Structure 1
Amino acid sequence: MKPPSPRGEGLGVGLTRRVQFLLFFLSLLTTTATAQETATVHGRITDAATEQPIEFVTVFVKDANTAVSTDEQGNYAIQVPAGQRVILGFRRVAYKDSNTDVLPLQPGARFALDVALAPAESNLEVIIRDRRLDDAGMVRERNIEDLKLLPSSTGNLESVLPHIALGTNTGAGGELTSQYQVRGGNYDENLVYVNDFEIYRPQLIRAGQQEGLTFPNIDLVRDLSFSSGGFQAKYGDKMSSVLDVKYKRPDSLRASASASLLGASAHVEGSLKNRQDPYRAFRYLVGARYKTTRTLLGSLDVKGEYLPDFYDIQTYLTYDLSRDWQVGLIGNFNRAVYRFEPESLVRAFGLIDFALQLRTAFEGQEVDDFTQAMGGVSLTYLPDRERNPLFHKFLASTWRSQENERFDILGYYILGEIEENLGSDEFGEIVNILGTGTQHTWIRNYLTFDVRNAEYRGGIELQNDLQDAGLTRSHFLQWSVKWQNEAVVDEINEWERLDSALYSLPYDTNFLLVRRVLKTQNDLNSNRITAFFQDTWTWRQDGVREFQVTAGVRGQYWDLNQGWLVTPRVQMLYKPLNIRQDVSYRLAGGLYFQPPFYRELRQLNGVVNKNVQAQKSAHVVAGFTYDFLWGKRRPVKMRLITEAYYKQMWDLVSYDLDNVRIRYAGANDSRGYATGIDIRLNGEFVPGAESWVNLSLLRTREAIDGVQHQIRELGDTEGRDVKDVPRPTDRFLTLSTFFQDYLRRNKNIRMHLNFTVGTGLPFGVVDNNVIYRNPYRFTPYHRVDIGFGFQLWKQEWRNRRPKHFLRFTRNTWASLEVFNLLKVANEASNTWIKAITNVQYAIPNYLTGRRVNFRVRMDF
């Protein structure tokens, strides 16, 4: 039995409710409206074998006329009498029935109860668990199906993080990149895991146009977790964030296919079971993707022939050797080819009373290719023990990246002031030439990077049920040791020639000089040993409180710089269970050191500095999570997460940002800090359609050792000493929203809206960004993407429409997407033009304009 949909849902919901929503968010006032005589039990029901959500499970109160059904994500919420002990039942065809006692709840209280139902033909047992405190600080997203419909110009999973994760933004690359910055850190400071395998990325990418497909394939994802800082010791040695992705464990044959103007994807999943031994099963996931950004790049103001082609194929296979042993295999092949033959550029910029225009004609081309391959194997031992369960896991993987950059581009430019008088015959034409010349860029860079590792992980839960009724205590111990080998072969050969008015810069009467000459070859081979140990201690008294402390320590040794690292970390959570509000509090802190990988070692002249030590930071994070119902007539589920943080950093390797390229100084020459507050509000503002709102405030500053930084106000001739200056990632405000809605009378027509606004990132003068460091800022970034989805078919219609031409699919969606709806010219970086007088002009490089995309997705 499925309850009828409330009236007034979707786009037809009154304006008053939307205004209330906005006022609520701006004031951050939360109120709950629950009946005084009832409480709410809610949770998620999954398959005990595959961990996939189960739809249409009937949840009912025994000896009462109350029942509900789970939705597509397996979620349910049911009202129960307050102050009474009740029995909840769970029933669905093809699964074992289950019942559970629910202790008396306070009026208006919300109690989370998750259930894992066992298939009727299996030997598995039903698992019922009240929802405990999750890992400290991890934001979890299990409704992956909603994310698949989100309009995205990159097609990568990471593009949704600014909308659902705390303190996250896309940085300078904007919509062309999947790179993200978290709480003042750069992209190299983020960890990514897929099924416990650490994922790496190409090293030479310098612009969002070159980026292809990232490793996580959203068609294969079961759920994801994200921490913006203060994460546990079991995660690696980075200073900013961790993205932990888990792939599916399929139990039946499923597939999907998607195609659009920006690419295509397909996947298949399933399992093969041994009828004689139900504990032996072979499960497979295979996905393939193709991406082309030709349509998007055609909106750039640099005209020419763009030929980007990106594709990958990926598989995840598991085989249950027995009830206790499982072997897994993950593999990925990824190739990105970017060809570009520029032709011309006309770019206007400047002020109202001093408008400038740059005109450029090009010769030559750029050809880049990035090939990555990754393979990993895991062996897991998880014995079936009711008391003190434990696990052992062995992992081994290898990753190779071959990267080639080839540029040979000449640009013949003229820079001048344009006529602004509307009545002039020369309106819009250059009337005052400020500079002419030629810019010649020549690059031949080749990089081969190999990473090999082997790891052992283990864990055991030590349970201690006290004699007092409803009082439990447990320790969950985890440990690991890992060996990793890194081999790098890097050949750099690049130069740039700039002449103005037939003079080569820098100017010399005897020689033809070129600038920014790099010609080096680096060959490194090193080994790392890392280990961690942590204990999660949980103390719970049913109906009163739950308290959890996770304390751990990491260690690392790297033979390249002979560096030893020891970093303790701790997370504390507290959740009162005897109050009406469903709220939990978090406090975390510790040391987060980041040893160099490779690019941090490479100085601006291309020479490797093997003496670079780990960048170091100390984190303090405090926050709370509040789950509540909002609205009196038709209450909707909402969640408010708020975190404040402070990070003190030292031994930093300073860097400059150029689009998505990070140019490191190659030395521990800086110190700094980052502080701010992040607020996320998400929930079903429209029932059955979750939306998110993220607001972040940030201040991050640095000071380079031995340098007295200065600032100079407009009109001043002398600089003024300052203690610190903005870091390249200092974005004071970021607001990101993802909103879903549908028609009042037809839920099959949906709208998805992305809105992002952020203050401008700082930048400085090229080759002179030390004393007066990052004194300027790009214009604020703002962008709106909108998508309209039309569900053409779903399997529930088969009885009503037996001859429909799409009946061979489970679900079919068609989407019309508009990227950059407002056609805003956002800035990504600058091109610097120097005249013979040595005056430099910063010419902004803009991101993409408005583009329309059509997409079709089928699930089988």
Structure 2
Amino acid sequence: MKTQYTFLILFFFIFSFSAFAQTARIQGVVLDESGKPVENVNITFSNGFTSSDKNGYYMLNVPANEDVRISFSHITLKQASQVVNLKTNENFEFNPVLKTNAEQLSDVVINTKNRKRSQGLENIDPATIRKNPSANPGVESILKTFAGVSGNNELSSQYNVRGGNYDENLVYVNEIEVYRPFLIRSGQQEGLSFTNTDMVENVDFSAGGFQAKYGDKLSSVLDITYRIPTKFGASAEASFLGGSLTVEGVSPNQKWTNITGVRYRDNSLLVNSQETESNFRPTFADVQTYFTYTPSTKWQWSFLGNISQNKYSYEPLSRQTNFGTIDNPIALLVLYDGIEEDEYKTYFGAFKSVFQATENFTLKFIGSAYHTTEQEYFDIFAQYRLGEVNTNIGSDDLGSVDFSEGIGSQLNHARNDLDALIFNAEVKGIHQKEKNNIEWGFKYTREDIRDRIVEWEVIDSAGFKINPPILNLPENDQPYNPYVGPLVPYQNVRATNYVKIDRLSGYLQWSRKDEIGEHEIWYNAGVRAHNWQVSGDNLDGKSQTTFSPRASIAIKPNWEKDMVFRVSGGLYHQPPFYRELRDMNGAVNPDVKAQQSFHIVLSNDYSFKMWNRPFKLVSEAYYKSLTDVNPYTLENVRIRYRAQNNATAFAQGLDLRMNGEFVPGTESWLSFGYMKTEENIDNKGFIARPTDQRLKFGILFQDYMPNIPSVKLYLNLVYNTGLPGGSPSYADPYVYQSRLRDYRRADVGFSYVLTENNAKRPDGHWLKNFKDLSFGFEIFNLFDNQNAITNTWVRDVYSKNQYGVPNYLTTRVFNLKLTARL
């Protein structure tokens, strides 16, 4: 048997290399006269055909050692051709520039940001991501301006979509799933987003109703592609918040490419603007590299690697928060002692191989590993004073506390450690036959997690200790009567878990583009299957399997108006990850079921011209019916699950987004979203879920000074109505249904581009060495709004009232930035 396998492997490689022997490859990016990529260009020669993708990229296998004429044609551009004579296995890069056919251009909009409208994907320009002013820059900061996407914490890269939580979003880089650290409690701890925007070529986003080829999550898909360099390049950025350096290059034979990025970030400037005075210097750094090796026209190998380290050292000193009403202002004064030391180290590596077996059959092999070691250590002692605020305008003590209504203290302690190792092995196939496209895939995942949690909190209020609400203890009404019950922490979680999860998943889907009369129509149907089993010390979970059928249909009528109508949906499952298995006491329930959502999306995509410039309006109405819901509480960006499937829920809403050239040559957009999501826990009735974001407005605006076009402006505005304010630990969420204040955020950036007029400069000018060289000035939280992320719960000793004191985020912050690209 061993000899048989060896013979088959040798035969496979001999056959493969013989197939490579008489061919070569031509590839590149098709550009228009303005240097922008053009999609849907037909590239043909006598025996072959392909077309450029949404990034203008094309690849074509041609006969070697003979003259071959390649033709490039497009419905709105003039045809071009090129004769090539390539050596065996040679890779030739050719980037043709197609000139405008003026008679037809008025009827068709050429836009590099066009997405696959039939698939319901939003495409985001990487240049827009890099220029967007944000306290936490990256792809996520752009997503938070979209309707249906919310993130009420500028220090966090976490986001929730259409009523889902942070754990319900799929993120892929080059088709490889990306994981986040586990012990995230505060947005301040997160540091850098995984995605290095200087390495990005393409970004697609779906807020729901996505295809079966994407994974098993309930809410959204973020699909990112890193670029393959075609020549040497470098970029650098430096600001008060850190810096980055990216270098890319290609080997002389064009077979090897590499792009590597190094980033460093120091959030001290931001966090020190908060109302809590502290000694605080959170630092974050990472290195990412992406290699590709193309030995022949049929094989391509790649490696994506990432190493990151986040250090969070926090020593709070004091805090004063004024809240209440104008008639009854209240202040919370806190003096702190202690320190928090957190550290997250993650290592990620993935190999991917693409084998072009034939022109109509492609195989992909992906293997990845993710390792994270995390620690969360803190001892924070807080002594608080709750009192009335002096509101006498003429007083020297205006704003100070005149009379104390409550005095108390609390001690928070944690020694939490986690070590997680995740392996993935996956194979995918793509078959094309005439108008049909078949895609399939199988994936095996092994998750090995070692977790120790030791966390407790003691609360003392004016001399008496507050008991936890989950225990049936004697009433504590000191100082009026002596307390004879036991002394226990208000919160006490202690657990050590060794958990292994084995998963097998796969999908099969069919797509087809057809015509009905003069109307274009796209079909897609598929199904996913997922089997998993949880095991470990004293754990023996049952094997569980889910099936998720999904389908969509899109039609583009042959109307004068350029519209696409789409309906999509199906059954979506989210098999539990480790955090969903661990309850609030730290115990693991191995038999937690997958949350299930029936999801339907109706959308309209309308492209039009206004002011003789291109615009697009995308409208989506959606409804989700969720069963087997695993309820959770939200503390900042920390999710604590009940590890029970004891709830049902729903989410419904409408998203609108209009983008286009409000200013000639730039893209801006306006978005509006309405969403309602509620859950019913143990049949007690429906209440707002922690992510019940009712109204959302978002604006991303780009402009320049007409008389000084080198001066650019970038504006990012977000308004969200308030989220539910959460509840004290272990409290009944039905009792605490108050909301936080509305989230209002405006970030603005100004940039002076020194290379704006490079085309007019003489050859040899020093600025001609740069593609971009600019100085920037940014103002975060332009209007200095006080936004809250959670509540701190304190008690008045006299009235026994419990107050939710808002924890405010950052105030107005200024930043300078220098950007250079070669």
What TM-score do you get using the length of structure 2 for normalisation? Answer: 0.85
The aligned residue for residue 376 of structure 2 is 405
330, 334, 339: which one pairs with 2:304?
A: 330
What is the match of residue 288 of structure 2?
314
Measure, in 1, the Cα distance between the counterparts of 2:36 and 2:310.
48
Q: Distance in 2 between matches of 1:245 and 1:297?
A: 29
Asked if the contact 2:207–2:221 (Cα under 8 Å) also holds between the matched residues in 1, the reply is: yes
Task: Return the offset for 1:544.
Answer: 1.8
Aligned to 2:741: 779
Using the TM superposition, give the Cα deviation of residue 261 of structure 1 relative to its aligned residue in structure 2, in angstroms. Answer: 0.5
Contact 1:729 1:762 in 2 (8 A): yes
Partner of 2:172: 193
Q: Distance in 1 between matches of 2:342 and 2:385?
A: 28
Conserved 8 A contact 2:242-2:266: yes
Q: What corresponds to 2:130 in structure 1?
A: 148
Take 1:240 and 1:59, find their aligned partners in 2: how far apart are those partners?
Answer: 31
Q: Choose the corresponding residue for 2:445, options 484, 489, 492.
A: 484
The one-letter code sitting in structure 1 at the alignment partner of 2:625 is Q
The one-letter amino acid of 2:466's match is L
Q: Which amino acid aligns with 1:648?
A: S
Q: Match for residue 49 of structure 1?
A: 27
Q: 1:103 to 1:624 in 2, by over 3 A?
A: farther
Distance 1:525 1:665 in 2: 20
Q: Which runs of structure 2 are paired with 1:432-831 in the superposition (5 Å)? A: 432-463=403-434, 474-506=435-467, 508-509=483-484, 512-540=487-515, 544-560=518-534, 561-576=542-557, 578-631=558-611, 635-706=612-683, 708=684, 723-767=685-729, 769-770=731-732, 772-793=734-755, 796-797=758-759, 799-800=761-762, 802-804=764-766, 806-831=767-792
Q: Which amino acid aligns with 1:559?
A: Q
Structure 2, gaps ≥5 residues long: 1-24, 39-54, 58-74, 84-92, 468-475, 477-482, 535-541
1:467 maps to which residue? Answer: none
> Does residue 241 of structure 1 match 2:220?
yes
**Kept in 2: contact 1:56–1:92 (CA 8 A):** no
Q: Specify the code of the residue in structure 1 equivalent to 2:212.
A: A
Cα distance in 1 for partners of 2:348, 2:136 equals: 21
Residue 256 of structure 1 pairs with residue 235 of structure 2: yes
The 1:573–1:851 alpha-carbon spacing in structure 2 relative to 1, beyond 3 Å, is same
CA distance in structure 1 between the aligned counterparts of 2:748 and 2:37, rounded to whole angstroms: 36
Residue type of the partner of 2:119? A
Q: CA deviation at 1:74?
A: 7.6
Cα distance in 2 for partners of 1:836, 1:694 equals 46
| Aligned-partner Cα distance in 2 for 1:640–1:663 | 38
Which amino acid in 2 is paired with 1:583? M
| Alpha-carbon separation, structure 2, partners of 1:159 and 1:680 | 16
Shift of 1:434: 1.5
Q: Give 2:108's aligned residue.
A: 110
Structure 2 distance, partners of 1:444, 1:596, is 25
Question: Which secondary structure state, in structure 1, belongs to the residue aligned with residue 27 of structure 2?
Answer: coil
What's the CA shift string for 1:192-220, capped at 9, x where partnerless? 00001000001111111111112111000
Q: What is the CA deviation profile of residues 726-745 of structure 1, one whole-angstrom value per residue up to 9, with x for unaligned ones?
A: 11111110101000000112
For the residues of structure 1 that align with 2:282 and 2:803, how far apart are their CA atoms?
A: 30
Aligned to 1:851: 813
Alpha carbons 1:260, 1:854 under 8 Å: kept: yes
**Counterparts of 1:176-325 in structure 2 under 5 Å?**
176-274=155-253, 281-325=255-299
> Residue 635 of structure 2 contacts residue 726 of structure 2 at CA under 8 Å; is this kept in 1?
no
Alignment partner of 1:235: what SS? coil
Moved over 6 A (4+): 91-94, 96-105, 111-115
Q: Distance in 2 between matches of 1:517 and 1:826?
A: 30
Instruction: Summarize deviations over 1:609-656 as a string: whole Å, max 9, x none.
Output: 11110000000100110111102xxx1110110000000001001111
Which is further off, 789-798 or 483-492? 789-798
What is the 5 A alignment of 1:288-437?
288-383=262-357, 385=359, 389-422=360-393, 427-437=398-408
Aligned to 2:143: 161
Q: 1:311 to 1:114 in 2, by over 3 A?
A: closer
Q: Distance in 2 between matches of 1:436 and 1:653?
A: 37
Shift of 1:92: 11
Is the deviation greater in 190-199 or in 745-754?
745-754
Query: Relative to 1, partners in 2 of residues 1:425 and 1:698: Cα closer, same or farther, differing over 3 Å?
Result: same
Q: Which residue of the partner structure matches residue 712 of structure 1?
A: none
Give the corresponding residue for 1:5: none
Distance 1:480 1:600 in 2: 26
> CA distance change for structure 1 residues 256 and 795 in 2, over 3 Å: closer, same or farther?
farther
Counterpart position of 2:52: none
* Alignment pair present for 1:89 and 2:79: yes
Equivalents in 1 of 2:115, 2:433: separation in Å?
Answer: 16
Query: In the superposition, relative to structure 1, how do residues 97 and 807 fare at CA in structure 2: closer, same or farther (>3 Å)?
Result: closer
Query: Deviation of residue 546 (structure 1)?
Result: 0.9
Q: Which amino acid aligns with 2:165?
A: N
Q: CA contact under 8 A between 1:403 and 1:447: conserved in structure 2?
A: yes
How do 1:831-850 residues align onto structure 2 when only pairs under 5 Å count? 831-836=792-797, 838-850=800-812
Which letter does structure 1 place at the counterpart of 2:673? S
Query: Relative to structure 1, is the Cα distance of residues 504 and 87 closer, same or farther in structure 2, using a 3 angstrom cutoff?
Result: closer
Residue 136 (structure 1) aligns with: 119
Q: SS at the partner of 1:823?
A: coil
Give yes or no for contact 1:282–1:320 (8 Å, CA) kept in 2: yes
Taking a change above 3 Å as real, the CA distance of residues 510 and 529 of structure 1, as seen in their structure-2 partners, is closer
Please list the CA deviations of residues 109-158 of structure 1 after superposition, one character each: whole Å capped at 9, or x if unmatched.
4376999xxxxxxxxxxxxxxx99545111112x3112211112113321
Cα deviations by residue, 1:8-65 (Å, 9 ceiling, x for unpaired): xxxxxxxxxxxxxxxxxxxxxxxxxxxxxxxxxxxxxxx97354867646999xxxxx
- C-alpha spacing 1:425/1:321, structure 2 compared with 1 (3 Å): closer
Q: Distance in 1 between matches of 2:144 and 2:264?
A: 24
Shift of residue 835, structure 1, vs aligned partner: 4.2
**Alpha-carbon distance change, 847 to 317 in structure 1, aligned in 2, over 3 angstroms:** same
CA distance in 1, matches of 2:733, 2:771: 62
1: CA distance between counterparts of 2:266 and 2:160? 24
Contact 2:33/2:97, CA 8 A, preserved across alignment: no
Q: 1-side partners of 2:764 and 2:501: how far apart?
A: 63
SS in 2 for 1:49: strand
Q: CA deviation at 1:513?
A: 3.2
Cα deviations by residue, 1:268-316 (Å, 9 ceiling, x for unpaired): 1121142xxxxx6111110111111100111100001111010000011
Q: How many residues align?
A: 735
Q: Write the distance in 2 (CA, Å) between the matches of 1:285 and 1:101.
A: 33
1:157-209 Cα deviation digits (max 9, x unpaired): 2111122x4411114xx211111110010110000000010000011111111
| Cα distance change on mapping 1:509 and 1:572 into 2, 3 Å | same
Distance of 1:843 and 1:99 partners within structure 2: 61
- Summarize the Cα distance change of 1:281–1:801 in structure 2 as closer, same or farther, 3 Å threshold: closer
Q: Identical aligned pairs, as a percentage?
A: 36
SS in 1 for 2:163: coil
CA contact (8 A) 1:568 1:590 kept: yes
Residue type matched to 1:687 in 2? P
Q: What stretches of structure 1 of length at least 5 have no aligned partner?
A: 1-46, 61-72, 76-84, 116-130, 275-279, 464-473, 709-722
